[in-house]
Structure 1
Amino acid sequence: MPTSRWFGLAVLTLPVILTSMDVTILHIAIPTITHELTPSPSQTLWILDVYGFLLAGLLIMMGNLGDRIGRRRLLLIGAAVFGAASTLAAFAPAPEALITARALMGIGGATLMPSTLSLIRNMFADPAERTRAIGIWTASLSGGIALGPIIGGLLLEAFWWGSVFLINVPVIVLLLVLAPRLVPEYRSSASSRLDVLSVLLSFAAILPTVWAIKTAAEELAPTPAAVAGLAAGVLAGAMFLLRQRRLQTPLVDVGLFAGPRFSGAVLGAGLAMFSLVGVMLYSAQYLQLVEGLSPLVAAVAMLPVMISVGGMAVLSSVLVRRFGHPIVFGAGAAVAAAGMLAFSRLPVDDGLVLAIVSSAFIGAGISPMMTLATDVVVASAPPDRSGAASALSETAGELGAALGIAVLGSIGTALYRSRVLDEVPGDVPAVVGSSLGAAIGVAERLPAEAAAHLAGLARHAFTDGLGAAAVTGGLILVAAAVICPLLLHRGRDASPSVR
């Protein structure tokens, strides 16, 4: 295998690290942004969510577009959009501007992820080398997710909050310079006109469904608007699937889901990201606002998570050769579930060690789930449809991440708000119910005794919400530990070359 291809792989890890890092980098910065821009609770969740929502909504379309116009070309176009949007986010003067910039980052990011994975599929034809390359790709993906809060903490220690976005720009410039020289172009020989109606239906299926689940979780009950949104999303999804069956070159090859291995891998990727990203949102806030750590120290405290994620991503290929996909996948989900349930027991005082250890177990369990899911999905697709297949895997992961922030974030916020507003004195501003950061800000302006009471009340309410969200994520992983290995095991006879 020419060395240049491995250099090309190194270049392709740059956008993977950036796009995954941007899913979580705000977790460490959101307390500072809340203080500086004073967004409403809904705006805060949209600042966190809109990137993942558009990423998930557009990945399928962008994967197919790359198959048609050239995957490297799409990668470079998306990188330019992502870099420009990152600059806009860095200097956003208000919550609305930041939400808009994050949306544009999601559009650019949607072109990067499927392009990188499908290019790897074509650069590494040998199955053993491809598995190692995908392991490196997944380590970059998982490492970026874990690296986000750490990089954010380092930047916030020295610069203003916008630096967490501006850091993307030099990396994007490096990608734009190196990719044309080290990464070969590839496009499908069977390219055809992109079906616009399928694109619109896929978008109409994903976004209303995500919004409905987010709204229902935030209200802790299915509202009429949420039910209507869910019905609209399901209807659009059914129309989308029916149309794909009739198209000669569909946007989504529905036939891939007939294989239990493929279905189990896609489901596992979504559930893994749902739990990981949703809990990391709480971890950064717990370390800063409950334990009282600075952004830099909080980032250092999260370093074991990054080590466990990256190490297990690389080790996964070794474990799967010895034990097979179903056992490694199920064991990973079980370890992550145990870590999640331990995380749910975080106390208000002296919980630093438990937070670090439980988070490391979560990362160590979820990392092989993501690695093996990606490997199975990419190996299931023919080379000329690898962009679309890899987009399905990434859509599951990004949709899971967006839902994790929306659902687990909304559960925690709703429980926090109800506990605080039930017990706070009537003369305290209602803004304390929006977030722990807002409550701490109000407490700083009160007399010492009242400040201590309000801060203690808010921290207890926050840990209650954290516990409820973590238990929900843990139960999701328990289900994944049972269902996904069964699907992977059922599909082994159809794929004798893969354990």
Structure 2
Amino acid sequence: MRMLWARLRPWLTLFIVVLVYIPVAIDATVLHVATPTLSTRLGASSNTLLWIIDIYSLIMAGMVLPMGALGDRIGFKRLLLTGSALFGLASLAAALAPGAGWLIAARGLLAVGAAMIVPATLAAIRTLFADTGQRNIALGIWAAVGSGGAAFGPLIGGFLLEHFYWGSVFLVNVPIILVVMLLTRFLVPVQQGRPGQPVNLRHALMLIAAILLIIYSLKTLLKGTQPLGVTLPALAVGALLLWRFIRTQLSLARPMIDIRLFGHRVIFCGIMMAMVAMITLVGFELMMAQELQFVHGFTPLAAGAFMLPVMLASGISGPVAGVLVSRCGLRRVAAGGMLLSGLSFAGLSATDFASQPYQAWALMALLGFSVASALLASTAAIMAAAPPEKASAAGAIETMAYELGAGLGVALFGLLLSRSFTAAIILPDGLAAPLSRQAASSIGEAMALAGQLDAQTGQHLAQAARHAFSLSHSLALGAASVLLLGLALAVWFALARSRRSEGAF
């Protein structure tokens, strides 16, 4: 009986950590189809909406490093329980938010809780699955939940928005968290921590400030909404803080996080794959949500349903990719996943979603499968290359790459769409200068303005906005294709000399 329990316990723990990882993954994208609703209900501007979406991934990217160190110090079970409690309370606060500022703050707290949960889940897998083959299958399931949860976010958000009030997208997290905490308390084994592992919150805040300043500066610099005298100093301060953080960690005898892990060639490749895959996947979903609702008139639920092939393919690819990594090696799966993702984006950039839905669905299924495979390959690379005693730190690095990629995906795709939309739109004659600037800033602003003008002018503006956005989305998808194809080539050569290590490479 004890032997049977010893065999079943890792898989039972995997079920628990996957269950708590589901809302964490979904919350990264659940608001993508909710931007029109939030704009109306909370009176949020387009820039505020981007921060509501983006703050979760950006705060999480900065906090996973210290939380990974905290996990090494107190053990993954304690970290999982603490993070789950904070995530549940923050979900409740977000569901009851009376305004945009409250919601941004609640999303920030959600990110802190998520930053505790994810390294704990990866550390549990790395610790409890000693067999490489079983660990790769477990990581495949974990990766499928991550990519599938992020992919299903828009569909879940659309369903809840169509049937309940907007806060329900956060309220559904609470019962899941309560079940997870109960199961974790009684069924997950206690891990021996390392009390000497330092956790320096000052350094964590330094990293978060650096990330937020850099992202803010890049957004405003590319959008041109602030003078260079404001943007460039903010960018310089952010870069200086990031440099200072890295130098401080390298100089410490017992750093909060082992920055030297980034110097490992396989780990670095895994980080780059995770970042680029999430940039393209999250950016694609955000762009598609706007394309389908503004250009083709879909409801939030219908827009989420149209993207179902991405979600289904992402959900089933993880376990398959885990087996492929074990049998074919990391290099083939990683480069192949990036290559197929690039080809799918190239096809989507030339696809008319209204007249070619079957072609769009086939390409989206290919995208979901290939991106999830690349994400699994990056996870396997990082976790296999890291020593067991640094499992939480390696999990934190992996999660940082995921979340920073998600945040950058929203920022970069949003900016690319905004700039290309402004350049492509042909405004109707006779619009006053303030109205012209409003209409050219984004498709959301243009469609809102079209409803306020006379029928003929409004129809002309709406048609021009739809045409400009379609051109912009083709440009964005083409750029993503070039990026992914280039990364596939780089990964293939970077891992050319990698030898098989524990069956992972």
Per the normalisation by structure 2, the TM-score is 0.92
Distance 1:129 1:153, change over 3 A: same
Q: How does 1:451-490 map to 2 (within 5 A)?
A: 451-490=458-497
C-alpha deviations, 1:196-215, integer Å up to 9, x for none?
45334433443322223333
Aligned residues of 1:424 and 1:454 also touching (Cα < 8 A): no
Q: How does 1:369-384 map to 2 (within 5 A)?
A: 369-384=374-389
Displacement of 1:447 in angstroms is 4.2
In 2, the alpha carbon distance for the partners of 1:187 and 1:216 equals 47
What is the aligned partner in structure 2 of residue 450 from structure 1? Answer: 457
Letter of the 1:4 partner, please give it: R
Please say if 1:39 is aligned against 2:48. no
Distance 1:486 1:216, change over 3 A: farther
Aligned residues of 1:218 and 1:407 also touching (Cα < 8 A): no
C-alpha deviations, 1:31-56, integer Å up to 9, x for none?
22223323212111111111111010
Displacement of 1:406 in angstroms is 0.7
Alignment counterpart, residue 9 of structure 2, candidates 4, 22, 25? 4
Please say if 1:191 is aligned against 2:170. no
Please say if 1:299 is aligned against 2:304. yes
What is the aligned partner in structure 2 of residue 60 from structure 1? Answer: 65
Per the normalisation by structure 1, the TM-score is 0.93
Distance 1:425 1:275, change over 3 A: farther
Q: How does 1:252-271 map to 2 (within 5 A)?
A: 252-271=257-276
Aligned residues of 1:51 and 1:105 also touching (Cα < 8 A): yes
Q: How does 1:319-338 map to 2 (within 5 A)?
A: 319-338=324-343
In 2, the alpha carbon distance for the partners of 1:69 and 1:447 equals 64
Please say if 1:385 is aligned against 2:372. no
Displacement of 1:437 in angstroms is 3.3
In 2, the alpha carbon distance for the partners of 1:364 and 1:255 equals 32
Distance 1:24 1:373, change over 3 A: same
Aligned residues of 1:409 and 1:469 also touching (Cα < 8 A): no
In 2, the alpha carbon distance for the partners of 1:352 and 1:90 equals 35
Letter of the 1:27 partner, please give it: H
SS in 2 for 1:160: coil
What is the aligned partner in structure 1 of residue 3 from structure 2? Answer: none
In 2, the alpha carbon distance for the partners of 1:437 and 1:202 equals 33
For structure 1, which segment, 467-476 or 262-271, has the greater mean C-alpha deviation from structure 2 after superposition? 467-476
In 2, the alpha carbon distance for the partners of 1:318 and 1:370 equals 14
What is the aligned partner in structure 1 of residue 77 from structure 2? Answer: 72
Displacement of 1:248 in angstroms is 2.5
Q: How does 1:285-364 map to 2 (within 5 A)?
A: 285-347=290-352, 349-350=354-355, 352-364=357-369
What is the aligned partner in structure 2 of residue 208 from structure 1? Answer: 213
Q: How does 1:228-267 map to 2 (within 5 A)?
A: 228-267=233-272
C-alpha deviations, 1:145-172, integer Å up to 9, x for none?
1110111121122112222122212211
Unaligned runs of 5+ in 1: none
Query: Percent same amino acid among aligned pairs?
Result: 36
In 1, the alpha carbon distance for the partners of 2:274 and 2:325 equals 17
Please say if 1:178 is aligned against 2:175. no
C-alpha deviations, 1:9-62, integer Å up to 9, x for none?
111012221111111111121122223323212111111111111010111011
Letter of the 1:498 partner, please give it: A
Displacement of 1:183 in angstroms is 1.7
Please say if 1:164 is aligned against 2:169. yes
In 1, the alpha carbon distance for the partners of 2:245 and 2:97 equals 36
Distance 1:490 1:249, change over 3 A: farther
SS in 2 for 1:198: helix
C-alpha deviations, 1:291-330, integer Å up to 9, x for none?
2222222222221111111222121122223432112111
Length, aligned pairs only: 498
Aligned residues of 1:24 and 1:277 also touching (Cα < 8 A): yes
In 1, the alpha carbon distance for the partners of 2:350 and 2:327 equals 34
In 2, the alpha carbon distance for the partners of 1:478 and 1:130 equals 29
SS in 2 for 1:188: coil
C-alpha deviations, 1:329-362, integer Å up to 9, x for none?
1111111112222233354853544443333222
Displacement of 1:402 in angstroms is 0.3
Letter of the 2:413 partner, please give it: L
In 2, the alpha carbon distance for the partners of 1:204 and 1:33 equals 26
Displacement of 1:222 in angstroms is 10
Letter of the 1:371 partner, please give it: L
Letter of the 1:437 partner, please give it: G
Please say if 1:440 is aligned against 2:415. no
